[in-house]
Chains A and B, each alone.
Chain A
Amino acid sequence: MKPKLKIVSSQKGAPAARAILEVEGLSKGFATNTNGAGRILVLNDVGLTVRKGEMICIVGRSGCGKSTLLNILAGFLSPDRGCVRLGGRPVDRPAPDRCVVFQEDALFPWLTVRENIAFGLKVRAMSRQEKEREVDRFLALVGLTEFGSYLPAEISGGMKQRVALARVLILQPEVLLMDEPFAALDAQTREEMQDLLLHLWAKLAHSIVFVTHDVGEAVLLADRVLLFEKAPGRVKEEIAIDLPRPREKDTERYYALCRAITSQMKRA
């Protein structure tokens, strides 16, 4: 049986009522040589909306501009045209209301797991005990209570990403931006991390923008999948994933959705 794919036009956008993150007409080009003579367009008129508590996955082949989009959302890059609004306010610089979990290991190697998680709290007006308690809570949430005093060099890749997750969740961002965070992990660890993310998401109810090139991962995690087109990058298709949660990977519906998106992706 063919699965029913809900294809929503990316141009119209979702109703802005409960939208937390809005992106409109975003374009970004890069100079191909240093004097700025040649430019290539990486993002062309990208628009999307993330609702409160929603998880969207941006899927596309490498080089389609999905990381550039995430960097703009985070405020690391500024767009040539268009705008990003978080809760109605324009976004123009990095801030703890939009935190990133990077693909690569981005922990501070001279700080212990505990100190890494506590890093962003330093500037907050909280008592020492309050901070310690928060760090304990998030260490426990990512299952690293025993490893607080370890240095990043002493723990595994999966554990590092748990720390990376904890150090941003502790800041209670309005939107969590994830840039292929599990791509460098082995298959088993990746599944553990996906479960952990879903568990934390159910508990803390963040809005999440998750970038991946792994269609299976997107179908497992997302409420909506945005399929990115390459060169210049833009949203080609928006697919609502209506699988009930908790989701099983080993089902006909799951595979059907994966197949459908993969074939769309090949045409992209």
Chain B
Amino acid sequence: MRHTISVLVENKFGVLARIAGLFSGRGYNIESLSVAPTLDPTVSRMTIVTSGDDRVLEQINKQLNKLIDVIKVWDVTQKEFVDRELVLVRVEVSKDKRDELFRVAERFEARIADVGERSVTLEATGDEARIEDLIRLLKPLGIREFVRSGRVAILKSEQK
């Protein structure tokens, strides 16, 4: 099963390498990972999407906690949470076909980030299913490139 793990870490160099090394060294996989500083600039938050059975997840949790630079670990999948992903998509589409592109964009509340001679770049956020849907609809129109941020997640309320 897939899990989203939220990790508070010391904002120091080398911390990402420790975490990435832990996952690769112990054979756990990372589907996506995003890192950014928190309100406290000495602390960063990582959101890691991984998969495994309960035993593997328990070990991931414990092994992460074992790292000196890890301050706190939550498996948010087991709580009430909101998750989002951001995607940037450049679609190469001739001017006569752009109406359809804009209709799709509107339906997904995607913003037009850039309009060029030969292509349009969309920016959209949503949970994973929504992003997948968007990509599915845009594909026939001619996706040249797309970049996903990886998932970020937040708990719905203060929880222990």
Answer yes or no: are A and B bound together in one complex. Answer: no
Interface residues of B (CB under 8 A from A): none
